Amino acid sequence: MGARRPLLALVGLVVALFALPAAPAAAQELEWGECPPSPRLDPRQECASLPVPLNYSAPGGETIEIAVSRMVTSSPDQRRGVILYNPGGPGSSGIYGPSRLAATMPQGVLDRYDLVGFDPRGINFSAPVSCSLAPEDLDVVKFIPYPTFDLDISENVAYSRRAAAGCAATSGDLLPHITTANTARDMDRIRLALGEPGISYLGYSYGTYLGAVYTQLFPSRTDRFILDSVVHPRRIWRETFAAWGYAVEIGFAAFTRFAAENDDDYALGDTPGEVYAKTLELLDELEAEPFPFPGTDIVITGDF
């Protein structure tokens, strides 16, 4: 990888596509209560639901509910503000984020900030998208993660078409409004409902892109932002997947050469072609009969 650029330069790359401001809104008071049960739930965490516009271009129209959670600081005299959290994805739930952060954050952070999580729109408890997939299509392994012997991708294409058709049929009215910019606007509605002049933020992976978009939409409401495992803001997401494919082609070819040169150690074949074929054969076997890794609860399948 090349040298890392300063964070401000990265954030500044977010394009003007997201410059549409959120519609002015009156603050709505959140009614805090118990959270949905989960083994990950800290009993100190509270949950609430916040109505937001489905379409921010028509803020007086239909609304959806955003699930919000919080864990307030136990040191109110040291309180600086709130930290919103997004774990990435896109597609990951953040409703139990405060419980997770409370177990890992330094005490100095916990003293100064309320921890705030939320499920982004379209996910989990926040107007979840449904695609009405058949039971046999619910297993992500159906999407073949490695090449077949004849390089056929027809099963991948067929799966993608079934999923797209199901999503359009079941959630077609919702999907156009499931965007990063709208999720950032939802974050600002959360800020407003909390009565905060600004927010701090912790985002991982895709969450770094969401955080960068928020800073572009609401720069005056941005306090301290931590963007961890940064996503390239000009590769969302088709370009990212294309780059992954190119990298795998290079990396896998290098692996076949290395394994062939060290056949005494790996026994996969003494030519790159033999290593390639043997590797795919092993992946097919793991797909048919997953292998439990000794001493752990990890099960190794064809997609590792």
* HEC secondary structure over 223-255: EEEEEECCCCCCCCCHHHHHHHHHHHHHHHHHH
Max CA pair span of the chain: 70
Q: What global pTM score does this model have?
A: 0.79
Helix and strand counts by DSSP (H, E) for the chain: 9, 8
CATH annotation of 7-129+174-228: 3.40.50.1820
Contact 276, 249 (CB under 8 A): no
237: preceding bond cis by omega (within 30 degrees): yes
Which residues are CB-neighbours of 294 under 8 A, at least 6 positions away? none
Q: What is the mean pLDDT of each run of 10 residues along the chain (304 residues)?
A: 41 42 67 94 97 97 98 96 96 96 96 98 97 81 62 84 94 96 99 98 97 98 96 84 83 95 96 92 86 84 72
Predicted local distance difference test score (pLDDT) of residue 24:
58
What is the pLDDT, as a whole number, of residue 284? 82
Q: Which residues contact 284 (CB under 8 A, 6 or more apart)?
A: 302
Spatial CA neighbour of 139 closest among 120, 163, 122: 163
β-pair partners for 114: 82
C-beta of residue 111 within 8 angstroms of C-beta of residue 65: no
Contact predicate 166/155, CB 8 Å: no
Residue 217's pLDDT is what?
98
Tens-place pLDDT, residues 46-97 = 999 999 999 999 999 999 999 999 999 999 999 999 999 999 988 999 999 9
**Residues 188/197, Cβ–Cβ less than 8 Å:** no
